[in-house]
Amino acid sequence: MRIRKKSWEDEELLTNKKLVHEPEKFKGNWKEYFGNDNPIYAEIGCGKGKFIVQNAIENPNINFIGIERQTTIMAIAARKTNDDMNNISLIRGDAETLADVFEPEELSRIYLNFSDPWPKKRWAKRRLTHRHFLDLYKKLLGGDKEIFLKTDNTVFFESSLNEFCETGWRLSNISLDLHNSGIEGNIMTEYEERFSSLGQPIYRLEARWLHNN
Ligand code: SAH
């Protein structure tokens, strides 16, 4: 997503209290950061933040961390938070560096919402569901190691299904049309609003690494 730098973004990034500037310092200590033992859910590529902020408001007993590599977009997400929200934090950074930020098993769930599809075959390694990312997530996730994915992109969804299945993940609650699926409690993302208003069906799945695999 190309986006023009905002006049207010530097100020927002400097002063917003939910942005964590040196997230490596909290590696292994995110429970202390939040001040409780609640599970931590992360969205990788959180974009403009609607999903993660709304989730945090609706689920006060879960801690949420939004991760986004694009600075201006992160500033837009940061603007949606306020100082009173105790269960959300934002990290400007790349999925590639997650192992510097989280200890093994520190996260309980990862959301991948409308990840960049990188549709050409030669770009497959960049997809956030390429097996090298799935292996990284597997380390960082504890419990059932849940990954929840939504996308409108057929190539990305097919390749994700293959990557999950070929590397031993168990899939459930798959839908090829989330909005007509009867699955409840869906929180729409910015991309989801845009694509579904164009009439595109939304694909989704849940992946778990079960202990007896
Ligand atoms: N989840 C949001 C945004 C989807 S667009 C929504 O559904 O509305 C995908 C976002 O992922 C972009 O903002 C992009 O900058 C970010 N992104 C892509 N690759 C990333 C990576 N490797 N690490 C962190 N963020 C990434």
The model's pLDDT over 27-64, given as tens digits with 9 standing for 90+, comes to: 999 999 999 999 999 999 999 999 999 999 999 999 99
Which residues carry out catalysis? 116
Under 8 Å CB-to-CB from 161, ≥6 apart: which residues? 171, 205
Kindly state the percentage of the chain with pLDDT values over 90: 97
Nearest residue (by CA) to ligand 1, atom 18, is: 45
- The phi-psi region of residue 145 (left if phi > 0; otherwise alpha if psi is between -120 and 50; otherwise beta) is left
Q: For position 213, what pLDDT does the model report?
A: 56
Q: Are 148 and 206 in contact (CB under 8 A)?
A: yes
Q: For position 210, what pLDDT does the model report?
A: 80
Q: What average pLDDT is seen over the chain?
A: 96
15 C-alpha to ligand 1 centroid (Å): 23
Nearest residue (by CA) to ligand 1, atom 11, is: 45
Q: How many residues does the chain have?
A: 213
Query: What is the per-residue pLDDT across 151-198, written as a single tens digit (0 to 9) for each?
Result: 999 999 999 999 999 999 999 999 999 999 999 999 999 999 999 999
Q: Does 123 have pLDDT greater than 70? A: yes
Nearest residue (by CA) to ligand 1, atom 26, is: 45
45 C-alpha to ligand 1 centroid (Å): 3
195 lines ligand 1 (CB under 6 A): no
> What pTM does this model have?
0.97
* Tokens coding 118: 């990188």
Q: For position 1, what pLDDT does the model report?
A: 60
State the pLDDT confidence band at 212, using cuts at 50, 70 and 90. Answer: low
Between 154-166 and 131-140, two packed helices, what is the crossing angle to 10 degrees?
Answer: 60
- The C-alpha atoms of residue 205 and residue 188 are separated, in whole angstroms, by 15
Give the containing element (helix H, strand E) for 33.
Answer: helix 30-34
